Amino acid sequence: SQELEQSPQSLIVQEGKNLTINCTSSKTLYGLYWYKQKYGEGLIFLMMLQKGGEEKSHEKITAKLDEKKQQSSLHITASQPSHAGIYLCGADAPVYNQGGKLIFGQGTELSVKP
């Protein structure tokens, strides 16, 4: 079965610093989703990547899917306290996926020190 591993598991950065979170899959990724979760709340969709080499940006957050489609990175530029939370990657199952199941990584907890 497919597994997603995120690194690091937790991260503390000074406000204004850049950071990167990685999501590595044990199998080829057909669709990779990044979500953000504020503490004690539901997940908010950030962006979705499908094609190898694809890169998308939303405000100061950029996500990329590598050419081999087995790893994605999420990069935050000039971090702010509002970026704090848990970031999760999710992936489509590699075979026909009735019901649209996603597999999730364990999450990366980001703290931003003012």
Interacting residues with another protein (CB under 8 A): 9, 30-31, 33, 35, 40-45, 48, 50, 88, 90, 92, 95-102, 104-107
Give whichever of 99 and 114 is closer to another protein, judged by the CB atom: 99
Q: CA 96 to CA 41: how far, in whole Å? A: 30
Cis-peptide, bond into residue 8, ω within 30° of zero: yes
User: Minimal distance in Å, beta carbon 36 to another protein?
Assistant: 11
User: Minimal distance in Å, beta carbon 91 to another protein?
Assistant: 10
Give whichever of 96 and 114 is closer to another protein, judged by the CB atom: 96
CB of 7 within 8 A of CB of 19? no
CB of 33 within 8 A of CB of 90? yes
User: Minimal distance in Å, beta carbon 15 to another protein?
Assistant: 25
Give whichever of 3 and 15 is closer to another protein, judged by the CB atom: 3
State the pairing for strand pair 10-14/108-113. parallel
Q: CA 110 to CA 87: how far, in whole Å? A: 8
CB of 23 within 8 A of CB of 8? no
User: Minimal distance in Å, beta carbon 113 to another protein?
Assistant: 21
Give whichever of 98 and 114 is closer to another protein, judged by the CB atom: 98
